[in-house]
Amino acid sequence: MPEKTEEIAEILKAVRDGAPTEKVVMVVGDGIAPRPAIKPRPTYLEYARSTGKLINGVLDEDRICWRYYETERWTSGNVYPERTHYYAWRLCYENLVHCVVTTNYDLQFESMFHKDPLPQGTILNPVASDSEYRYEGFYGQKSQINDKVQLFKIHGSLGFASFMQSNHPEPLIFKLPHFLVGFPKKNPTDDFALSAHDYLGHEMAVAGVVHPSLKSDRCERLGHFIDFNFPRSVFSRLINGAYETLNSPDVKLVLVVGFTGYYDPANAADPFNEELVPVLLNIADRVPVFYLLNSSQNPARSYLYAQLPNKAKGHVFQDSVRPALVDIVRNLSQLITGNETLSKEWGYYYQDNWVSGYLFAGPP
């Protein structure tokens, strides 16, 4: 591992000292942090049944899943970040990483960018035209990228919701508030009892918020706008936007962190295929692509891990993400300042401002 992190640090420094147009892209998967990944609907439903919860019909299923996803949304938006997330944010802050493409639904990056803004600014999902409705900020204007750090949430975001049954060609996406939605108790992790909670989408319909004729079309089922609730095809424009960014001639390094990398080349319709895998393999013939697989992830499940070393500039290694990112920063310290100053300063900042809770005091 040490030689890999040295190479990454050297390329980061070269980009930092090179032409202003040169860019670095970080691709992030759920292996970036040690906490468990957000689960698909069937997993939560199975657990709820095992605890004795009665689930009768799809609205009951939605109630159960809404609570789990809502808890994850609030938690990831209002707690201090893992050190691994912090170092990823810090690389962006120092203008060493210019775009983050993530398959994760949580709000760790958005929360960090909001509560301690980057000097160059950020933009979420920059795929919209100037005249297009941006669905309360879910889409950013492509023309407004400039030098901002781009954040692509290519499989959706827990920060937004949409109605799950609609005849409209594009989902009606709207932003969720900072507070928990639909919880009757102070601690939502204590109790998931259905009797204490009526599902928000159902409440809107029966309360007459919308015309009854629209109930079956828009207001019967509400879900977080993630690919566990919606077809992957709904997110195709975000995936294509990430493709376009990765394929840019300005990209000089791609750092892939904790990304599953699953892909079945014999079955393009496999719903678990990671669409980024083919494009990462293609660009690795001309651009250095370093793939750090978390030590908890199974390399035998990763087509990217198996195929990337066959590419001219493809590199793979497996280790816990945190020490690898720390090691990259340590090497940057040697290259940029000639000592451990940078590494220590970043560590102090994390301890003083993030772990202490100074920047993550929770919503007002």
Domain boundaries, the chain: 23-320
Residue 229 CB neighbours (<10 A): 21
Cα dihedral 106, 240, 258, 117 sign:
negative
Model confidence over 277-294: pLDDT tens digits? Answer: 999 999 999 999 999 999
Closest CA to 112 of 83, 152, 137: 83
Contact 311, 284 (CB under 8 A): yes
pLDDT of residue 190: 47
**Three-class secondary structure of residue 23 per DSSP:** strand
How many Cα neighbours within 13 Å face the side chain of 357? 5
Both structure tokens of 187: 């601690």
Tell me the residue type at 321.
V
Instruction: Give the integer Cα–Cα distance in Å for 150 and 212.
Output: 40
Instruction: Give the integer Cα–Cα distance in Å for 255 and 246.
Output: 11
Expressed in percent and rounded to 5, the helix, strand and coil fractions of the chain are 45, 15, 40
Q: What is the DSSP string of 305-364?
A: HHHGGGSTTEEEEES-HHHHHHHHHHHHHHHHTSSSHHHHHHHHHIIIIIITSSS-----
Closest CA to 102 of 284, 224, 260, 228: 260
Closest CA to 279 of 23, 8, 27, 45: 27
Instruction: Give the integer Cα–Cα distance in Å for 66 and 87.
Output: 31
**Three-class secondary structure of residue 298 per DSSP:** coil
Instruction: Give the integer Cα–Cα distance in Å for 294 and 322.
Output: 9
pLDDT of residue 71: 87
φ/ψ of residue 116, rounded to 5: -140, 80
The pLDDT profile of the chain, 364 residues, written as one tens digit per residue, is 678 999 999 999 999 999 999 999 999 999 998 777 888 999 999 998 998 888 888 878 888 888 889 889 988 988 888 899 999 999 999 999 999 999 999 999 999 999 899 999 999 999 999 999 899 999 999 999 999 999 999 999 999 999 887 666 678 899 998 878 875 544 444 444 333 334 444 444 444 444 444 444 444 578 999 999 998 989 999 999 999 999 999 999 999 999 999 999 999 889 899 999 999 999 999 999 999 999 999 999 999 999 999 999 999 999 999 999 999 999 999 999 888 899 999 999 999 888 877 766 544 3
Both structure tokens of 113: 């960018």
Residue 60 CB neighbours (<10 A): 16
Contact 318, 293 (CB under 8 A): yes
The angle subtended at Cα 362 by Cα 345 and Cα 124, nearest 5°, is 75
Model confidence over 41-86: pLDDT tens digits? Answer: 999 999 989 988 888 888 788 888 888 898 899 889 888 888 999 9
Spatial CB neighbours of 132, under 8 Å, sequence gap ≥ 6 = 139, 141
Cα dihedral 197, 201, 205, 210 sign:
positive
Spatial CB neighbours of 31, under 8 Å, sequence gap ≥ 6 = 257, 258, 259, 260, 293, 294, 296, 297, 321
Both structure tokens of 75: 């938690």
